[in-house]
Amino acid sequence: MTQKNYTEQQRQIALFAKALGHPARVAILNFLAAQESCFFGDIHEVLPITKATVSQHLKELKNAGLIQGEIEAPKVRYCINRANWELARKIFATLFCECKTNTKCCE
């Protein structure tokens, strides 16, 4: 089989999508997107999982570049990474508008 690689765009979409691929992480993003920023505890409070697991999910979202956090001792403040959030918005919009026959999209 010849070498058929995936494009950078495809890898980037997959990376963002993977981060969005768990309800807890979607809930975290919903929560963060609805406000300027908030503390870890506030996020933990609205989720049905332990703090260890919340911390893990936050780490993944951070690795994907969708959020960022900074220490504000003794708490940690989290917020959406606006630049990448916008990038993600565009990249997903592009993907879903690449449909040949759907007259309803891209309007």
Partner DNA sequence: TATACTGTTCGTATATTTGCGAACAATATA
Partner DNA sequence: TATATTGTTCGCAAATATACGAACAGTATA
The footprint of DNA (CB under 7 A) covers 18, 21-22, 24, 39-41, 44, 49-60, 69, 73-76
Nearest to 42 by CA among 81, 75, 80, 85: 75
- In DSSP terms, 78 is beta-bridged to 38, 69
Using CB under 8 A as the binding rule, whether residue 38 contacts a copy of itself is answered as: no
Give the residue with the Cβ less far from a copy of itself, 58 or 88.
Answer: 88
Backbone phi and psi for residue 61, each to the nearest 5 degrees, phi listed first: -65, -35
| Cis, peptide link before residue 48, omega less than 30° from 0 | no
Binding site for a copy of itself (CB under 8 A): 1, 3-7, 10-11, 13-14, 17-27, 29-30, 33-36, 46-48, 80, 82, 85-86, 88-89, 92-93, 95-102, 104-105
